[in-house]
Amino acid sequence: MGRCYFSVEYNHPEHPDNICAVDWDCWAKGRWVRSWRSDFQWHKEDEDGGHVGKLGFQAIVDKFGLNGLDHELTPENIEFMSPARLMAFRRQKGLPYRTILSDTLGDPSPAEEYD
């Protein structure tokens, strides 16, 4: 399966040769799921069902500029917050507008387009 929809890439300290990501609406409808690429093939993270986990959570928080608000967010609730909803959360918290684009190769679309 190829990359789909909105993706946030991150580095995994235990797997430095792989590209890792959390993908919205790709592997499961309406949630973030972790994936990784080895060579040219993308794989869904099967460990613990691909839940966001600590690294995926931190990657989303960093990408959306929500550092300092992570006390209001958990890996469990952010897993079901779409990119558009995360942008709304930013606005709700009074954070300045920031263009946030998908890391999906060839499709750097804005977060607001993914509900």
3-state secondary structure of 35: strand
In this model, does residue 90 exceed pLDDT 70?
Answer: yes
Phi then psi dihedrals of residue 6, to 5 deg: -85, 125
**pLDDT of 49-80, one tens digit each?**
668 889 999 999 999 999 988 789 999 999 99
pTM for this model (two decimals): 0.89
In this model, does residue 1 exceed pLDDT 70?
Answer: no
20: β partners: 10, 36
In this model, does residue 9 exceed pLDDT 90?
Answer: yes
DSSP state, residue 111: G
CA 69 from chain centre, in angstroms, equals 16
43: β partners: 36
Selection from 61, 26, 25, 63 nearest residue 43 by Cα: 26
